[in-house]
């Protein structure tokens, strides 16, 4: 048997040796590592054996990558994020290490199929949605580009909740993703860090007679790191995602032990462990919970200490080059405590002076904003902060004082300006504005699509933009084509690679070579055949999860994302009701059969979002059970939407719904996944849709609705009732909704929704966009009738998706923000 440790990833040596040795390796793991008595048929064991065999092969490159980085002394990047939505790892690792044939073949020898075996892996659902999945795509691209980037996050015991649908309503169940263990992580107890909470600050004179501040009487807890490998694509690079688990210190319980209260001591331990217990399932409104602030501080303090400890190992107490050789990218404001915490560590622990420390902090922190929604901007109560993080609060006050002094000097007499930019929002309950803290403490502030960045500059952050225009920049999001095309759509991958080679897998711009093939009738036919096969898989999956039959003759129309008013799933439902009304009225001339799927989780405390879920289910129930609609219209709410569901939904989708109120969706990334897989988009001029339309060509995009500035104008004198009264189709839609067609047994159930639509203060101006949306959907319908045309447009969308690779995004972060080179 070849020694696994000798194999080179993606090297020439590999394939033959691996093919031969894989069955033996699987066998060895089944027998010795997993101790299976006789050869089992349980796919879970084969999943574990495969993961172990693949992990063996990752180890060497992982060690080599660490070695290369630690000896090179190049600049390093630390990506701090409360969320990493990785999904499954086995298939990804197999693909990136080029082990596909070997593992498939190895499993065959045991009568097992890889497709079945990978299903045994739980999704690592350590994120809510866009921001968390973006972090995962970024790690993949950093490894692909061989960049020295480490991810830092929290090892939540429970990830994003499991969504069940009972009587049409969302019910949350815990996601204990670690219950069968996690073969992808390695605990590193030797790198455990100590984190402080509570206590108070005190003044003292150090040996040099200097007056200093320190954090006294704090409670300590431990941060224990678990490392996960992030393999690059066939390039011998394996980067690291380091996730922290909270644990109690031993010292903690001593007093209580001595007092004989063993159970109390153990419950203290539990208290500490709470911190990494559960991911907050909120992605659009901050709720000021203590535990969440603890999580944020826990992550930032442990990660910064980790980086500093490594620095001191290599450079001693000389920090003169620390700022130049490190960069911390803050994924939204969630890790914003990094600004005052790095100040604290440098000043209190490493005895630097304020100015020196501040110049280091502001040369190595960079902040990405992911949302314009005011209710999602984090503000922490000063009271809570002073209790939990007293020393940090002191530092924040000092940062603020210096900021206000400098701004006042440059803008004498402008007290309004000072109030507006203060890090502290004054009032009965003063709050710290975490976004402002992040801007002030960073050398770079970026938005995630061009429109979003422009709106940040002219709106939310305009005062800061005037102060420091040079800090602001745009980095349009991207997604990794390795997961979101190669892995999830093997048939399309095959077709594309047959036609233009495989360069696109590591350099997506080259997918543009497909464009001329849009004119090739035979290629179009093969393209359509792949879509059809993917629709079949999609349809089987829908049947399995909902019991509803989606006919592959119909157009597959999909909206999957978190449920939120601004994303306007409601607009989608209004259109479905419109189609249903036409069917009932017999007005079906030229109507193409459609299957509409909506999926996504509602934050557990977001009542309106939950009512929207219920509405989708109720409309689906009526439509799917009406014989008149049988051949023309189906609708489902897909339960428990997650990364591994998208891997099946995305390849089979034909129409991608990106219909948010313009100016509200920072970027969107689902829109990019669909485009790569040849879906056409119906969308507003919002977030990255604008760039998608530019790249795809306006003629290959179904545009509707008001743009961001028109939305603002419309709101000044918005009269939805007038629009409703003046438009026969819209009047009908509202009528059936308000008559209770979809809530016979529960009168008034959807009143909150209909009254919202009719409200002149409706923030999402849904009714204002409805006519335009219905008309655009009619154009979609007519285009679909011409399948040659549709397929041409589909190919052109995929061919023009090169810009939306996260490799491009990360290359821009590396060149323009981080200034790092591959190792």
* Residue 564: active-site member: no
The only residue of 40, 282, 362, 552 in contact with ligand 26W, by rule CB under 6 A: 282
636 vs 645 by CB, closer to ligand 26W: 645
According to DSSP, residue 163 is labeled E
The only residue of 131, 224, 365, 467 in contact with ligand 26W, by rule CB under 6 A: 131
According to DSSP, residue 177 is labeled T
Distance CA 479, CA 144 (A): 13
* Residue 567: active-site member: yes
- Cα→Cα distances 721→256, 519, 608, Å: 66, 47, 21
Q: Which stretch binds ligand 26W (CB under 6 A): 283-291, 458-466, 507-515, 638-646?
A: 283-291
192 vs 811 by CB, closer to ligand 26W: 811
Binding mask 89-128 for ligand 26W (x = CB under 6 A): ---------------------------------------x
Residue 126 C-beta: closest distance to ligand 26W, Å: 13
Residue 799 CB contacts under 8 Å (≥ 6 apart), including other chains:
511, 512, 513, 514, 515, 517, 518
CB half-sphere exposure, 510, CA atoms < 13 A: 11
- Say if CB 704 and CB 772 are below 8 A apart: yes
Block residue for tokens 């897998």? 505
Bridge pairing between strands 149-154 and 238-248:
parallel
What is the phi/psi pair of residue 675, to 5°? Answer: -60, -45
Question: How is residue 213 written in tokens?
Answer: 């501040």
Distance CA 228, CA 799 (A): 33
Residue 666 C-beta: closest distance to ligand 26W, Å: 4
Residue 307 C-beta: closest distance to ligand 26W, Å: 24
Block residue for tokens 């002030």? 440
The only residue of 57, 104, 370, 471 in contact with ligand 26W, by rule CB under 6 A: 370
Residue 108 C-beta: closest distance to ligand 26W, Å: 40
Block residue for tokens 């394939």? 15
- Cα→Cα distances 614→40, 561, 610, 620, Å: 43, 16, 6, 10
129 vs 599 by CB, closer to ligand 26W: 129
* Core vs surface per residue 241-270: b (16+ CB within 10 A) or e: bbbbbbbbbeebbeebeeeeeeeebeebee
- Cα→Cα distances 430→24, 421, 422, 424, Å: 64, 14, 11, 7
Distance CA 401, CA 454 (A): 29
Q: Is 283 in the site for ligand 26W (CB under 6 A)?
A: yes
H-helix or E-strand containing 779? helix 766-785
373 vs 528 by CB, closer to ligand 26W: 373
Compute the radius of gyration of the chain from its Cα atoms.
28
List alpha helices for 285-433, DSSP H. 290-315, 322-325, 338-344, 354-364, 382-388, 390-410, 415-421
Distance of CA 137 to the CA centre of its chain: 8
The only residue of 371, 444, 486, 806 in contact with ligand 26W, by rule CB under 6 A: 371
* Residue 561: active-site member: yes
Annotated active-site residue in 344, 370, 483, 564: 370
Binding mask 711-750 for ligand 26W (x = CB under 6 A): ----------------------------------------
Annotated active-site residue in 531, 561, 664, 792: 561
The only residue of 148, 323, 687, 802 in contact with ligand 26W, by rule CB under 6 A: 687
136 vs 345 by CB, closer to ligand 26W: 136
Residue 377 C-beta: closest distance to ligand 26W, Å: 8
Annotated active-site residue in 531, 568, 642, 673: 673
Q: Is 153 in the site for ligand 26W (CB under 6 A)?
A: no
Question: How is residue 182 written in tokens?
Answer: 């996690």
Q: Is 666 in the site for ligand 26W (CB under 6 A)?
A: yes
Packing angle, helices 100-108 and 14-28, rounded to 10: 40
Annotated active-site residue in 453, 476, 669, 681: 669
Residue 159 C-beta: closest distance to ligand 26W, Å: 15
282 vs 387 by CB, closer to ligand 26W: 282
Q: Is 799 in the site for ligand 26W (CB under 6 A)?
A: no
Binding positions for ligand 26W, 471-490, rule CB under 6 A: 477
Please give the angle made by the CA atoms of 613, 648 and 239, to the nearest 5 degrees. Answer: 105
The only residue of 23, 335, 668, 683 in contact with ligand 26W, by rule CB under 6 A: 668
Residue 801 C-beta: closest distance to ligand 26W, Å: 16
Q: Is 376 in the site for ligand 26W (CB under 6 A)?
A: yes
Residue 402 CB contacts under 8 Å (≥ 6 apart), including other chains:
none
Binding positions for ligand 26W, 378-397, rule CB under 6 A: 378
Name the nearest CA neighbour of 791 among 477, 538, 420, 521: 521
Residue 282 C-beta: closest distance to ligand 26W, Å: 5
Number of residues that bind ligand 26W (CB under 6 A): 22
Annotated active-site residue in 75, 567, 642, 664: 567
Strands across the sheet with 431-433, in order?
379-381, 431-433, 424-425
Binding mask 241-280 for ligand 26W (x = CB under 6 A): ----------------------------------------
Binding mask 407-436 for ligand 26W (x = CB under 6 A): ------------------------------
* Residue 487: active-site member: no
Binding positions for ligand 26W, 312-341, rule CB under 6 A: 332
Distance CA 443, CA 339 (A): 12
Distance between terminal CA atoms of the chain? 32
Name the nearest CA neighbour of 152 among 64, 202, 227: 227
Q: Which stretch binds ligand 26W (CB under 6 A): 204-212, 282-290, 460-468, 630-638?
A: 282-290
Binding mask 486-515 for ligand 26W (x = CB under 6 A): ------------------------------
Question: How is residue 45 written in tokens?
Answer: 């064991």
Q: Which stretch binds ligand 26W (CB under 6 A): 12-20, 183-191, 664-672, 757-765?
A: 664-672
Q: Which stretch binds ligand 26W (CB under 6 A): 180-188, 588-596, 660-668, 802-810?
A: 660-668
Q: Is 301 in the site for ligand 26W (CB under 6 A)?
A: no
Q: Is 129 in the site for ligand 26W (CB under 6 A)?
A: yes
565 vs 665 by CB, closer to ligand 26W: 665
Residue 387 C-beta: closest distance to ligand 26W, Å: 20
Residue 671 C-beta: closest distance to ligand 26W, Å: 9
Residue 133 C-beta: closest distance to ligand 26W, Å: 8
Q: Taking the CA atoms of 543, 546, 551 and 555 in sequence, report the sign of the dihedral they define.
A: negative
H-helix or E-strand containing 380? strand 379-381
User: In the bound complex, which residue of the shown chain has the CB atom lying closest to ligand 26W?
Assistant: 130
Q: Taking the CA atoms of 728, 734, 738 and 744 in sequence, report the sign of the dihedral they define.
A: positive
480 vs 794 by CB, closer to ligand 26W: 480
Distance CA 371, CA 284 (A): 8
* Residue 78: active-site member: no
Q: Which stretch binds ligand 26W (CB under 6 A): 13-21, 232-240, 370-378, 411-419?
A: 370-378
Packing angle, helices 787-799 and 521-546, rounded to 10: 90
* Residue 575: active-site member: no
- Say if CB 150 and CB 110 are below 8 A apart: no
Binding residues (CB under 6 A) for ligand 26W: these are 128-131, 134, 282-284, 286, 332, 370-371, 376, 378, 448, 477, 665-669, 687
The residues that are catalytic are: 370, 561-562, 567, 669, 673
């Amino acid at each position: 048997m070849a020694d696994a440790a000798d194999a080179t990833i993606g090297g020439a040596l590999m394939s033959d040796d691996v093919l031969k040795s894989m069955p033996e390796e699987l066998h060895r793991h089944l027998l010795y590592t997993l101790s299976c008595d006789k050869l089992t048929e349980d796919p879970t064991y084969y999943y574990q054996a495969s993961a172990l065999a693949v992990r063996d092969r990752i180890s060497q490159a992982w060690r080599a990558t660490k070695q290369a980085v630690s000896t090179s002394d190049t600049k390093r990047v630390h990506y701090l994020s409360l969320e990493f939505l990785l999904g499954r790892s086995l298939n990804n690792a197999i693909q990136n290490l080029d082990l596909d044939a070997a593992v498939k073949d190895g499993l065959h020898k045991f009568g097992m199929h890889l497709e079945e075996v990978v299903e045994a892996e739980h999704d690592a659902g350590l994120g809510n949605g866009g921001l968390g999945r973006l972090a995962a795509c970024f790690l993949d691209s950093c490894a692909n580009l061989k960049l020295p980037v480490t991810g830092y996050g929290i090892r939540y015991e429970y990830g994003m909740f499991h969504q069940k649908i009972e009587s049409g309503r969302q019910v949350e169940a815990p996601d204990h993703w670690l219950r069968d263990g996690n073969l992808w992580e390695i605990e590193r107890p030797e790198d455990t860090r100590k984190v402080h909470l509570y206590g108070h600050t005190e003044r003292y004179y150090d040996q040099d007679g200097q007056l200093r501040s320190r954090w006294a009487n704090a409670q300590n807890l431990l941060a224990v790191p678990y490392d996960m490998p992030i393999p690059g694509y066939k390039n011998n690079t394996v980067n690291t995602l380091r996730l922290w688990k909270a644990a109690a210190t031993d010292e903690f319980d001593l007093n209580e032990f001595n007092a004989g209260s063993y159970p109390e001591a153990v419950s203290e331990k539990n208290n500490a462990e709470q911190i990494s217990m559960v991911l907050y399932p909120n992605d659009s409104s901050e709720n000021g919970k203590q535990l969440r602030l603890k999580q944020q501080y826990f992550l930032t303090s442990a990660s910064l200490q980790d980086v500093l400890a490594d620095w001191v190992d290599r450079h001693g107490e000389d920090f003169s080059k620390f700022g130049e050789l490190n960069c911390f990218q803050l994924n939204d404001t969630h890790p914003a405590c990094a600004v005052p915490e790095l100040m604290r560590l440098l000043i209190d622990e490493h005895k630097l002076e304020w100015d020196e420390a501040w110049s280091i902090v502001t040369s190595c922190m960079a902040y990405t904003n992911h949302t314009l929604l005011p209710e999602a901007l984090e503000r922490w109560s000063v009271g809570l902060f002073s209790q939990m993080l007293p020393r940090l609060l002191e530092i924040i006050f000092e940062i603020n004082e210096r900021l206000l002094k400098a701004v006042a000097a440059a803008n004498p007499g402008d007290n309004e300006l000072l109030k507006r930019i203060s890090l502290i929002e004054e009032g009965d309950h003063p709050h710290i504005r975490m976004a402002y803290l992040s801007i002030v403490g960073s050398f770079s502030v970026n938005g995630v699509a061009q429109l979003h960045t422009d709106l940040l500059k002219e709106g939310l952050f305009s005062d800061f933009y005037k102060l420091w225009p040079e800090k602001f920049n745009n980095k349009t999001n991207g997604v990794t084509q390795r997961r979101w095309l190669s892995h999830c759509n093997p048939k399309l991958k095959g077709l594309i690679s047959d036609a233009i080679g495989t360069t696109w897998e590591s350099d997506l711009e080259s997918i543009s070579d497909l464009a001329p093939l849009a004119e090739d009738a035979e290629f179009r036919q093969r393209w359509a055949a792949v879509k059809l096969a993917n629709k079949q898989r999609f349809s089987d999956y829908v049947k399995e999860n909902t019991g509803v039959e989606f006919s592959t003759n119909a157009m597959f129309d999909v909206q999957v994302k978190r449920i939120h008013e601004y994303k306007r799933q409601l607009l989608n439902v209004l259109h479905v009701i419109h189609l249903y009304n036409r069917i009932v009225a017999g007005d079906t001339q030229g109507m193409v059969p459609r299957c509409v799927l909506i999926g996504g989780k509602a934050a557990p405390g977001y009542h309106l979002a939950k009512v929207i879920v219920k509405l989708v289910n109720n409309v689906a129930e009526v439509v799917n059970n009406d014989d008149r609609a049988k051949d023309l219209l189906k609708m489902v709410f897909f339960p428990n939407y997650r990364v591994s569901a998208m891997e099946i939904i995305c390849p089979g989708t034909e129409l991608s719904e990106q219909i948010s109120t313009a100016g509200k969706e920072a970027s969107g990334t689902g829109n990019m996944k669909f485009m790569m897989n040849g879906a056409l988009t119906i969308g507003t001029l919002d977030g990255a849709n604008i760039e998608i339309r530019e790249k795809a060509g306006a003629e290959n995009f179904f545009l509707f609705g008001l743009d961001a500035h028109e939305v603002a104008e419309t709101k000044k004198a918005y009269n939805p009732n007038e629009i409703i009264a003046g438009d026969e189709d819209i009047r009908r839609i509202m009528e059936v909704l308000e008559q209770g067609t979809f809530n016979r047994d529960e009168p008034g159930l959807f009143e909150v929704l209909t009254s919202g639509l009719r409200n002149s203060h409706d923030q999402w101006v849904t009714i204002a966009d409805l006519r335009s949306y219905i008309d655009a959907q009619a154009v979609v319908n007519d285009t679909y009738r011409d399948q040659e045309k549709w397929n041409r447009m589909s190919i052109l969308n995929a061919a023009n998706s090169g810009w939306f690779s996260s490799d491009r995004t990360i290359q821009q972060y590396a060149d323009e923000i981080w200034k790092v080179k591959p190792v």
